[in-house]
Structure 1
Amino acid sequence: MRKIGPYGVETLPQVLVDAPSAPAGCRAGLSERARLQWRRADGGDPAALAEDFLAAHGLPLHDLTRPAPAHGGSAACGAAVYLSATAGALLAGVTPGAPDPAPALPDLVVVVYDHGDARRTPIPAPPRGDWWLGPWAESWTPGQHAAAVDAVRAAIGRGDVYQTNLVGHAAARYTGDPLPALTRLRALPGARYGGVLTGDGWAIGCASPETLVEVTDGRLITRPIKGTRPATAAGRAELLASAKERAEHIMIVDLERNDLARVAATGSVRVDELFAVRQWCQLWQAESTVSAAVADGLGLADLLRAICPGGSVTGAPKLAALAQIDALEPVGRGASMGALGWVAPGRVDLGLTIRTAAADGEKLHTWAGGGITWDSDAHAEVAEAAAKTAPVRAALAGR
């Protein structure tokens, strides 16, 4: 059921506000004003619900071109916003059919925060021996993952798609408090959107390096990531020289340009940086920056409909790729491949929830994958997904 209203101390974990991209100087002094939780069974449009809920609690984002109002004594500081992969697919007009491996997690969460005495303390380190994380059970075997890669290549050969992103899931049972484990993810090198969001019976930890969308000073920005190699000198040279990785990357940059053009001032979309190599943990990744001027009257709801789900975790064409994803992936994407970040008057900063883990009452969940093109090698794609999830799993285990 949808929940609206602040959580009481008996259900809200007593932690510092740690939503990705929340203002660092405010986190220690924020208190929760109101909360919206929504699941697709509740019906309605999650983008419209988020925009309306924010406006009702002092954060009007109906027109992102308007100057941010000065903070008054009773004004909200901002809000954490989370959309699942399912919510993103629904905004694109697609209803996913794969079962959700973590159904306790909502599909939309909006938490509005005030400045004030939050009376929260950092998560204490658990006593030694209290935290136990069991073995990971994969949602598909390496052979099944490789077969899905080959199925995408066959679809590309038929002309059904140009590229599809495939994502695998794994779950592990745990005992103890999962919040310290999830909090460790924010310290992973390159975690631009590191942080934690919690609710009653669930928690999400993020170490994402990827900007889904940022709105600052009237400009839209997205930073798609495509292309991965080990963070060695040889790996960097190989990534820069790879025609396959560059073609995969540029395909997604073009998709993101088209997504932004739907909500941008005419003729304002530009690529500010193309195929820059940056590091996340022990991996090199290729990142581009695409920006555009905000169209007059653009609100948060229309922005979310235009850019969700992110092109770098779906493929091209987006709707055809989503249909393949639903047919090939054995379980839903849950907290991964969605959006998580912070919004405030005059500011939107949402990360794409790659390198993300989630906890329900019994298990931790992780997801990882990659983009498949005609030149993809199935076994290399399986290895790449394992390399992406390894630092996340190591941090969760306390290594």
Structure 2
Amino acid sequence: AHGTRQGRWDLLLVANGPHLRLDADGRVHGSDGSIIDGGFLAALDAAWRAERVAGPVDPSVPFDGGWALLLGYECAAEVEPVLRLPPARGNLPVAMAVRCPAAILRDRDTGLCHVVAEAGHAGLIGTVLADCARVATLPARTVWRPPATIQDDAPERFIDGVERVLAYLAAGDIFQANLSRGWEAGFAAPVDVAELFHRLRAANPAPFAGLFAGDGWAVASASPERLVSVQGRRVETRPIAGTRPRVAGDDDAARIHELVGHPKERAEHVMLIDLERNDLGRICTPGSVEVDELMTVESYAHVHHIVSNVRGRLRAGVTPGEVIRAVFPGGTITGCPKVRCMQIIAELENGGRGAYTGSMGWLRRNGDMDLNILIRSAEIEGHELRFRTGAGIVADSDPLRELEETRAKARGMLRALGA
């Protein structure tokens, strides 16, 4: 993903501060074991206000202290209380925010690395540099062992789900919905998440990749999609809608021409742009929301995508939690109208989504943030790994073609696994 505006920086956040954790029981836990009332996003806003930097920040770097954020899809129940979402498998948090007062930043344009820390945490710079020196003496990376077992959801279940979505479309309940299916891999030994992330980035380079590692669990992502970015008062989202497989020996130009000219793909994309404009309109000054990049094509290792960029000017006083509440989860991975589509997704998919189609990223103390959408992503617990891929369903969708789209989107992860 190097060479794009979105893929300029690599960030390694130093997580040695307090955290917030939302569990499946709906409780928000502090790092001291306390239960925090009011919900996760309210707790995040309170933590941000306590550490907020109101003055100017260094514009030459994207991050100089703040929080690492992870939001599972089921965090949507906090955004839309009417939702009754099935629980996700495993024991990952529904959401987590970890205080990170220092970071290593790599600028891919210049090749330079920066070690940054907040005032009062300058001692971490020496610690980070010592850790970097120690890493250089470590043995070579471990040998990757492919999974012992791997299984995907029954294709017939997905095809039946697409048919049922088509019935909802015909009845006028919805205009578009994103339906997904899952893969599960079992390993003979606990998964080396750092090595997995290295392999995933090599197999499927993407500008919004990330690794969020907890105690015995991790989420590894090679996401191409931004949920939301805030810089000062500027906010933007970068929806992806419209996909074609990319295979060796294929005519890229012909495949891209067919993609951008296909009426179904164009209609779906425009519909979702309108949804994102509406989402940003909740938090932006009137008249400031615009589409500044319309239906460009981004090509990745295994797919071509249609991408647009929607931006606006934040109203004064909007908090990070309010920004997340306005846009989460992304419309491209739920559908339109969003709440009804999430209800249908809960009905048709086999359990909760977990990390898939949630979000990962960072929040700076001045309120700047950058969050991805967790697609092309896996959650790992011990010997097990799970991931999902999806497809946008509209009135003229062909179930077999949508099934093939889920397989095309899975190829990067399967290649990284050695499966």
> TM-score band, normalised by the shorter chain?
0.7 to 0.9
Partner of 1:106: 93
For 2:92 and 2:190, how far apart are their aligned partners in 1?
19
Paired position in structure 2 for 1:382: 403
| 2:204 and 2:412 in contact (8 A); partners too | no
Q: Does 1:135 align with 2:149?
A: yes
**Structure 1 unaligned blocks of 5 or more:** 1-19, 61-65
Q: Name which of structure 1's ranges 371-380 and 224-233 shifts more when overlaid on structure 2.
A: 224-233
1:35 maps to a residue whose letter is H
In structure 2, do the counterparts of structure 1 residues 230 and 49 end up closer, same or farther at CA, with 3 Å as the change threshold? same
1:36–1:53 contact (8 Å) kept in structure 2: no
Please report the TM-score for the alignment, with normalisation by the length of structure 2: 0.81
1:153 and 2:140 matched: no
Deviations 1:298-352 (A, max 9, x none): 0011111111111001100111101100110012111110111111024210011
Q: Where does residue 253 of structure 1 map in the other structure?
A: 273
Give the aligned partner of residue 15 of structure 1: none
What's the secondary structure of 2:69's corresponding residue? strand
Query: Would the aligned equivalents of 1:79 and 1:342 in 2 still touch at CA under 8 Å?
Result: yes
- The Cα RMSD (Å) is 2.4
Q: Decide whether aligned partners of structure 1 residues 214 and 188 sit closer, same or farther in structure 2, where only a CA change above 3 A counts.
A: farther
1:165 aligns with 2:178: yes
Aligned to 1:81, what secondary structure does the other structure show?
strand
User: Residue 22 and residue 243 in structure 1: after superposition, are their counterparts in 2 closer, same or farther (change >3 A)?
Assistant: closer
Superposed displacement of residue 42, structure 1:
3.8
SS state at 1:133 partner: coil
Asked if the contact 1:45/1:91 (under 8 Å) is kept, the reply is no
> Percent of aligned positions with the same letter in both sequences?
33
For structure 2, the 5+ residue unaligned runs are: 1-5, 28-37, 102-116, 118-123, 247-251
Alignment of 1:82-231 (within 5 A): 82-101=70-89, 103-114=90-101, 115=117, 116=124, 117-118=127-128, 119=131, 121=135, 125-128=140-143, 131-138=145-152, 140-174=153-187, 175-179=189-193, 180-231=195-246
Q: Deviations over 1:13-70 (max 9, x none)?
A: xxxxxxx98964x63x8352222222131434221122223344x246xxxxx55457
Partner of 1:30: 14
Q: Is the 8 A contact 1:279 1:285 kept in 2?
A: yes
For 1:239 and 1:253, the matched residues in 2 are separated by: 17
Partner of 1:239 in structure 2? Answer: 259
Indicate yes or no: 2:419 matched with 1:392.
no
Asked if 2 retains the 8 angstrom alpha-carbon contact of 1:92 and 1:309, the reply is no
Closer/same/farther in 2, CA of residues 245 and 23 from structure 1, 3 Å limit: closer
Which residue of the other structure, out of 39, 46, 53, is the alignment partner of 1:52? 46
Q: What is the alpha-carbon distance in structure 1 between the residues aligned to residue 351 and residue 263 of structure 2?
A: 32
1:13 maps to none
What's the offset of the Cα at 1:134? 2.5
- Cα deviation 1:190-223 (Å, max 9, x = unaligned): 4111121101110010100111000113111000
Counterpart of 1:353 in 2: which secondary structure? coil
Q: Which residue of 319, 324, 332 maps to 2:339? A: 319
Does 1:266 find its partner at 2:260? no
